[in-house]
Structure 1
Amino acid sequence: PSPKPLLACVMGLTLGRARIFEQVAGIVVTPSMRDLLEAEAALSKAHAQVRSLERLALQIIGLRLMGYAGIHLSGIHDVEQLLTLEQTINRWQSRIHSLEQWAPAWAACWQMPGLPAVTFHPPEANWRLGESHVTASRKETARYHLLSGFHSLLFSRSSWLSQAFGWAVQRPVWATPTGARVLHRLERSVKRPLVGCDTCGRCRLEDTLYVCPETCPKGLANGPCGGTSLNRCEFGDRECIHSVKYRMAKAVGQTEVLVERLIPCVEENSRHRSSWPGWFEARGCASASPCGGG
């Protein structure tokens, strides 16, 4: 699939903003980051401002080198600051032409004599980029294979059983108001105990490793929200479904699904009705496409 252009939202980090962000779900300001910002502010407000703009300029350059289409800049309140930022970006751009050149400059801008090295991960999360020590349980893996096999039997559109099921759910009786209600209740009664289905009308289970996006309080299918902390939902009562998806994908060798498939949103007018007739109407869709699924 072709890459999707993305914008990154950026803002220069100052001590005042860090104190505010510490209370905002999804934003991490580590103790070592705060110590550095406090030390810079103790020298002078002007020095802290220069350092903040320096880091912001490097962040913008790094994002460009990572392939972002552009940035959404906030926190710059006057023309003088904007011009200074532009000059700083131009100065660094003449010296940095790759991520290999950028990385040491980025690390250096977060250092100060007499202070320990700054770390960006929460103190409780001792992870490093590229490390992964999670996996799905045997029960979760068995559940995935069971549901995947069930999907192949009934929703492949190629086997005789799938074609027979497709023919059955496309009968005119299911298009009547009473028939539609019955089919909706039937699908919900089958799938809700298995996956927490809320009958969104456009089932995406095949693309989400049979972890229903509707079990996320926000219904997010493509990734966690900013409130996720240490793989826990911001509501605190469950593991984030995207942590579950990653563990499952790793266990069954399907991690490419997480980066190759952009899962569509569900339109409000499709909710609370069966997804089965629509799945078989979409005969031109490839099985890995975002057309839905059982």
Structure 2
Amino acid sequence: MTPQASLVPFSNPYDASLPAVNQSNSKGALTGRLVLDYKIAPDILAYASYSRGYRSGTFNGLAYQDISQVYFVDPEKVNAYEGGLKTRFFDRRVQLNLAAFYYDYGKQQIAQIIGATSFLRSANGRVFGAEAELQAEPFDNLHLNAALGLLNSKYKGNSIDPADPANTTININGNPFPNAPRTTFSAGFEWTMLRTQANDGKIVLRGDTQYMGRYYFDPFKDYGQDPCDQPKGGSMVLSATPEMACGNPSYWLVNGRLSYETKNYSIAVWAKNLTNKFYYTYGLNLNAFYLDYFNRGSPRTFGIEASVKF
């Protein structure tokens, strides 16, 4: 292996001579939760809830370039409304849960890294969606599960400059929340293929799959780039690489596991990401340093696992 290194020019280095900053602030809020439920039938429960959430205010303390970067960030508040059904059918072999929700965010706290400095911002937004969860046991040795999530998120009336928190030059109104795909889906099964009476052992096959729709890594979505894979000219921090601006494409993951299990021990072979799908789990715009940072999801992995219970 040949070691490699490079130097990245940066025009606003850390200034050790910056004076100390002394600030204080005080905020408070009333929070709580109200839940109403009603049994429509012995195995059908309807419910509705309202809750008020609160995240305390803070100071942007990771300032390296100027004391003006140390400022108070207002508390985050959310009004959450949810309603749904919890049901069981066919001698309780099938369980189906349905839910719909609406979250109204006020001054949501957003982290944004510019150069060597991390900024906290406040933005208003809303989220609404629906979820469905299914559990079924059609036979004694077979268990099935599935879940579907639909989500619509967007910021409301906010403008934030990714280069300078004192200015408001990029309109994020209508942009989706970070890491908020519109559609998610998962399904799986667990099949006990064989049972042995001699030592209470069993052979179990498990499989599952997950779908993740496209999502973006920060509030700036495509950074105003049209098309998203064509960075704009000018200041580097006002643009983004195609991987950052176009978001993480939708993807499927498939996993499997085969095990022999007894009361006291088990041995299994397993595999994750069987199709070796390439995807990212996290992204950060660091174009002030002429790069972006990404965490890649795990590639295809497999192994053998053994356990003993005493």
Shorter-chain TM-score range = under 0.3
Length-normalised TM-score, structure 1: 0.22
- Specify which structure has the higher proportion of strand: 2
Structure scoring higher RCO (CA < 8 A, sep ≥ 6) equals 1
